[in-house]
Structure formats: C-alpha cells, structure tokens
Amino acid sequence: MVAAPAAEGSPLRVREVSKSFPNQDNAAARTHAIDRISLDVGASELISFLGPSGCGKSTLLRLITGLDAPDSGELWVGAEPITAPSAERGLVFQDPNLFPWLTVRGNIQAGLVARGVLHEKRGEVDEFMRLVGLESFANAFPHHLSGGMAQRVALARALINHPKVLLLDEPLGALDAFTRMRMQDEVLRLWQARRTTMLLVTHDIDEAIYMSDRIVLMTPRPGRIERILTVELARPRQRNSPEFLRLRGDILELLHFAGAEEKAEGGRRKAED
Amino acid sequence: MNAAPAAPTQIAAAPNAATPAVAPLPERLPWKTLLALPLATALALAVHFFIARKEPAEAGFTGLSDFMPWVESRAYLLLLGTVLLTSLGVVAVQKIWLGLRQWMRGMCPILAAAFVLLSAWEVITTGLQLLPMPYFPGPAAVLQSMVNDRAMIFDSTWHSLLLLIGGYALGVVSGVVTGVCIGWFEPARYWGMPVLKVVGPIPATAWIPLALVVSPNAMFSATALIALAVWFPVTMLTSSGISNTRASYLDVARTLGASRSYLIFRVAIPAAMPNIFIGLFMGLGASFLTLVVAETVGVKSGLGWYLSWAQGWAEYGKVYGALVIMAAFFSTIMTVLFRVRDRVLVWQKGTIKW
C-alpha cells in the first residue's frame, strides 16, 4: 500500500531568518528578499504562503530546501538543522522540470537511483505511478505529456523519497483553471494519504483557502510575514460557500487589494459567483 | 485490400505532433512515378548505345570489338541493364508490397533524375566531346576504371576507415572528457578555456609540417591530427552544454538526494547530449577533411592517397572513381552517426533530419 500507516511529516522551525541578494543595478546595495522571518509549521500541516511577487515566498522555500543558505537565522526540520539539500525535503516547481531524457518511469524513480536504493524499492515505482494515475504512460517521454500529467509526475518523483516536508513552489500556476482545480484535489488526496508536511507557495487566494490549514500572508520589500490566518472550514471545502468568500474578502483587504474601486468590483464579482 | 495496412501508420503518426504529416499512401502510384526510373534508365541505355556505336573501335583490339563495340564498357552497360530490369520488376512487385510502394514514391523521382544526369554527362563528354580530355571522362569510363581497380579501391577504403575510426574515437573520447571537465569544474574552466580558445581554432591540417617532423610514424601522426580536428568542436560543444545545464534540473536532482556523480553523469551529461551531438557532427566533418589531407601528404594508403596517386598518373577515370567512393563512404558514416543520434536523443521533441 502506498498510504503510509503513520504520518510521514515532520515539524519545521524557522527562526529569525534573513536573506538578501546583491542588487543588479547597484553593486553596493542589497535587496532584502526576506527579513527576520520566524515560523513554526506542525507535522503533517498544509500551510500556504500568499503574497504579491517579490515578497520572498520562493526565497523562503529555497532556504528550507537547503539549496540556498540564509544570511542569518536558523532552520530546523524536527531536531535536524537544515544545512544542505536532502531527499527529506522534496521540491516541486511551477515548471515540472521533468528530466526530458528520462521516461515517466525514469523520472519517478530518479530519487531512488540518486540515493542508490532502486534495487530494494523498485516495487514502489509502480505504486507511485498508480498513485498519480500514470501507469499507462510509464514509457512516455515528458514532451508527450500534458501540463497536468507532467505535474503529477513531478509530484510522484518528489514523493517517492518519502520526504518529511514537501515544498510546492506555485506547482499549479501554469495550468488552466479546470486542470488546476482537479490537481488541487489530487494534491489534497496525496497529502491526506501520506500526511507529509506541505508548504505551498501560491498567488491564488482561492487555492490557498481551498487547500491549507493555515495561510501565511506576506508583504514585499523586505519580505515579512504580515499575518497568519487559520482556515477553519471543514474538508472537502466548498469554493462558493459564504465562509469561503468571506475569508477571501478578508485576505484581499489584508493584502491591500480591496481598494475603493476594487472593493466595488470585488463585490460585483462576488454577486456573480 | 491495400488501404487497410496503410491506416495504422496514419494513426500511429497522429499523436506525435512533431512528425511532419505524411500524405496518405494512395492505392496505386501515378504512372509518372512508376515509369520514371525505367524510362530514365532506358534513355541512358539508348544514349550509351548510340554514342558507343559512333565511337571508333580502339586500336590494338581484335576484330571482335567491331561486332561488339560495347564490350569494353560492359560495366556501365551491365549497370544500366540491371537497373532497368530491376526497376521494371519493382513496378510489378509494388502492387502487392506496400513497403516497397512507400519507398518507390520517395525514391523513384530522384533516382530517375540521377540517370538522366548520367546520360547528359555521357552526351557532353564522350558524345559531343565538349570538355577537354583526359580530364573529363564519361560515366562508362569512370565505372570501368573503378571496376578494373576494385582491389585497390577496396584496400584504400579499408585503410581510410581504420584511420578514421581510430582518430575519430580518440578525438571524441578526449573531447568529451575535457569538455565535461571544463564545463563542470571551475578551475578546469579557468585554465583550460584559454588554451581551448587559442589552440583549438587552428585547423588540424596546419599542424602537418610539425607532425611530419615530430612523429616517426605517418600513421600515428595522421591519427593524432584527426583526433585533434575532432577534439576541438567536441570539447567546445560539450563544455558549453554542460555549463548551460538548466539550474532547476540540478536543483531538483539535489532535493532528490543526488550525489555529485549523479549530477554530472545523470543530469549534466544527458542535458548536454544534444550539444554534444552537434560537436560530434562538426568533428566528423573536420575528420573527413583531415583524413583526406593527411593521406595525401603523409600516409601512403587510403582514399586520399589513391586520389592523388591517380591524378599523378593522369588517370582521371580513377580520380572520379575515388570521388564517387568517398561520397558513398563519407555519407554512409554520416548516416550512421545520424542513426546513433536518433537512438540516443529519442527524447528530444524536434530533431534535425539528415
């Protein structure tokens, strides 16, 4: 069975983390991507990061993967400090970034090959292909796949290592609206089956409300946490329930997108819904 | 009955948008396509008969040649006759053989054109003698000298093949190794790139004077020169392919638990493969050039040597024969490399056709 008996997720601790990059126009100045961010994520929690571009969502995710090191501050997964990338923290980008030279099967088992455990765990490859519904595409190359299928492969590729934390950097951003909604259910299903701790970066408010336990609102320049909202709605959530829409309105207001004219238009759109 | 087997090919081709649409194979090919090749060979035969008869029998031959003036050039006649009979046979067989019909549709027009060109060549050279002899023999004479000299031509081709394979393999292996080092390791790039940029562009043939002095063995220096000619483009393209590996592929691999050797051998090198193949093709072209020059200058065997040897004796039939063999030899090797490329890069969306 793919569904793990116990929760696979680990809690995540972020303490006073800052990261800046050299400014492209002015070598002396630095852009502060994120500034003294602290956050606790519970084991098996699904938490989203929401905010306009430039608020440091993706930077924070890269720090958690260990691909980049923070200027200051500390990050922990369980009791382990994060110092380098590891198979314990999976990553899925907006672009599926499948290895085009490998088939669907080759991509999904890449993590096992990389860790040198393919021989013992070969059976899991088929399980994960079934889990994401791609068993009949095992020998197809990525350029034959649709966007949704490719992203499912990317999810399976990240999950096969049984990561304690799965980092999703706008994974559904490039999909059309309908595929996207279907994939949101798919990700939720995987999350419920595996109880992996998931961090989801998105700029789609509906997606954040539909999926997360908590929503971290971020503001740009420098990237800071504005507020953390807990989504109390029971799953499966209704995208058009009054509570859902109310929360959506609150978030728009907190992000300062509910200006005078925009408020009126937002109200009209709500009425149309 | 014939339409049914054609249908699956259509369906199989449909999902792959990258493949250019192939027009459906008709139930029967138009007469123009079917008869193009027999007509063209018949024309070549007629031209040949007419010109050969007009030509006076050469001195020193027995009276037999008066009755059969075409005996001297029987190779060309045999070729044309065989092609004519085969093409007529093919026209009959294609009714029941689908694959052959597909092949004929593609090949008949171009083959017919080739035989029309042969007849034109014969008319211009042997027939009207518009071009100065002995520099421009007709097709019959060229084919005849090839047939007469077949042992030597075979031997030369064999030697060229050995030299080419040795030099090319050496160049490819060393080129890929240095290319990966320069592309991946920063110190290797710092120290290696300037050498590559300064020494690489020198044509390998320009080293010949030095090679003649330094090396005691012509075979050895020719192999080294070919390897050098191949090494430069392969190194250049490999290193650029490696260093331009998409950063996100490497990031994903790291989060999957990849070691450095996985990153190099399972991510960077596959990602660089399309580039590496461009280098392999460029290197192959350079290796042909270097091979012919090296054989002309130093090595006393091979097609390049045969070419200049025949020219030295003013046997231009053999010169053209060597050119024909080279064309067949080099394009066959090119085709083999394209086949290898198609195998290795099946995963690529659109590939350049040969």
Q: Domain segments of chain A: what residues?
A: 15-237, 241-273
**Which residue, among B255, B341, B344, would best test binding to A if mutated, counting the most A CBs under 10 Å from its CB?**
B255
Its sign, for the CA torsion A25, A29, A30, A31, is negative
Which residues are within 8 A (CB) of A265 and not within 5 positions of it... i.e. 6 or more apart?
Answer: none
Cβ contact B156:B305 at 8 Å = yes
Closest Cα to residue B157, out of B34, B323, B298?
B323
* pLDDT score recorded for residue B40: 92
Could you tell me if B12 lies within 8 Å of chain A, comparing CB atoms?
no
Return the percentage of chain B with pLDDT > 70, whole number.
Answer: 85
Within 10 A of B85 (CB to CB), how many other CB atoms are there? 12
Q: Report the residue of chain A nearest B258, measured CA to CA.
A: A114
Cβ contact A87:A117 at 8 Å = no
Report the C-alpha gap between A225 and A218 in whole angstroms. 5
Cβ-based contacts of A100 with chain B (< 8 Å): 347-348
Cβ-based contacts of B251 with chain A (< 8 Å): 65, 67, 85, 91, 97
Report the C-alpha gap between A4 and A196 in whole angstroms. 10
B98, pLDDT greater than 60: yes
* H helix and E strand count, chain B: 15, 0
Closest residue to A114, CB basis, from B18, B248, B258: B258
DSSP helix/strand/coil, B175: helix
**A144–B266 CB contact, under 8 Å:** no
B124, pLDDT greater than 70: yes
- Residues of A at the B interface, defined by Cβ within 8 angstroms: 65, 67, 85-87, 89-91, 93, 95, 97, 99-103, 110-111, 113-115, 141-144, 157-158, 161
Closest residue to B256, CB basis, from A101, A114, A143: A114
Closest residue to A114, CB basis, from B16, B262, B270: B262
DSSP helix/strand/coil, B17: coil
Q: Domain segments of chain B: what residues?
A: 3-136, 150-344
One DSSP character per residue, B197-249 reads HHHTTS-GGGGHHHHHHH-S-HHHHHHHHHHHHHHHHHHHHHHHHHHTS-HHH
**A87–B271 CB contact, under 8 Å:** no
Which residues are within 8 A (CB) of A129 and not within 5 positions of it... i.e. 6 or more apart?
Answer: A104, A105, A108, A135, A138, A156
Residue A6 C-alpha, separation from nearest chain B C-alpha, in angstroms: 22
pLDDT, tens digit (0-9, with 9 covering 90-100), for B38-94: 999 999 989 888 887 765 544 444 444 444 444 445 788 888 888 999 988 988 888
When the pLDDT of each residue in chain B is averaged and rounded to a whole number, the result is: 84
One DSSP character per residue, B203-217 reads -GGGGHHHHHHH-S-
**B252–A65 CB contact, under 8 Å:** no
**Confidence band for B193, pLDDT divided at 50, 70 and 90:** very high
Closest residue to A143, CB basis, from B246, B255, B349: B349
One DSSP character per residue, A104-172 reads HHHHHTHHHHHHT-HHHHHHHHHHHHHHTT-GGGTT--GGGS-HHHHHHHHHHHHHTT--SEEEEESTT
Closest Cα to residue B44, out of B109, B106, B96, B122?
B122
Which residues are within 8 A (CB) of B149 and not within 5 positions of it... i.e. 6 or more apart?
Answer: B318, B321
Instruction: Count the alpha carbons within 13 Å of A81 in the hemisphere toward its beta carbon.
Output: 7
**What value, to the nearest 5°, has the Cα angle with vertex B39 and ends B36 and B45?**
140
Two tokens at A76? Answer: 């922990």
Closest Cα to residue B104, out of B44, B32, B43, B19?
B32
* pLDDT score recorded for residue B100: 86
Return the percentage of chain B with pLDDT > 90, whole number.
Answer: 49
**Confidence band for A259, pLDDT divided at 50, 70 and 90:** low
**B255–A158 CB contact, under 8 Å:** yes
Specify the residue for token string 């007709």: B138
Two tokens at B26? Answer: 């008709």
CATH of B150-344, one of 3.20.20.70, 3.30.2310.20, 1.10.3720.10, 3.40.1160.10: 1.10.3720.10
Within 10 A of B258 (CB to CB), how many other CB atoms are there? 22
Closest Cα to residue B182, out of B114, B243, B273, B261?
B243
Closest Cα to residue A77, out of A7, A162, A13?
A13
Q: Report the residue of chain A nearest B267, measured CA to CA.
A: A99
Report the C-alpha gap between B346 and B138 in whole angstroms. 44
B167, pLDDT greater than 80: yes
* pLDDT score recorded for residue B73: 53
> ipTM score here?
0.84
Higher pLDDT, residue A228 or A257: A228
pLDDT, tens digit (0-9, with 9 covering 90-100), for B200-258: 899 998 988 888 888 778 888 899 999 999 999 999 999 999 999 999 999 999 999 89
Within 10 A of B200 (CB to CB), how many other CB atoms are there? 14
Q: Of A15-24, B6-15, B79-88, B225-234, which gets the smallest average pLDDT?
A: B6-15
At A75, which helix (H) or strand (E)? strand A72-77
**Which residue, among A62, A99, A167, would best test binding to B if mutated, counting the most B CBs under 10 Å from its CB?**
A99
Mean pLDDT value across residues B148-155: 88
Which residues are within 8 A (CB) of B119 and not within 5 positions of it... i.e. 6 or more apart?
Answer: B40, B43, B44, B47, B48
* pLDDT score recorded for residue B13: 35
* CATH code for the structural domain at A15-237: 3.40.50.300
Q: Report the residue of chain A nearest B265, measured CA to CA.
A: A114
**Confidence band for B101, pLDDT divided at 50, 70 and 90:** confident
User: Alpha-carbon Rg of chain A, whole angstroms?
Assistant: 19
Q: Report the residue of chain B nearest A97, measured CA to CA.
A: B249
Cβ contact B339:B281 at 8 Å = no
Report the C-alpha gap between A266 and A272 in whole angstroms. 10
pLDDT, tens digit (0-9, with 9 covering 90-100), for A173-216: 888 888 888 888 888 888 888 888 999 998 888 999 999 999 99
* H helix and E strand count, chain A: 9, 10
DSSP state of B263: I
Cβ contact A183:A172 at 8 Å = yes
* pLDDT score recorded for residue A147: 86
Instruction: Count the alpha carbons within 13 Å of B167 in the hemisphere toward its beta carbon.
Output: 33
Side chain identity, residue A150: A
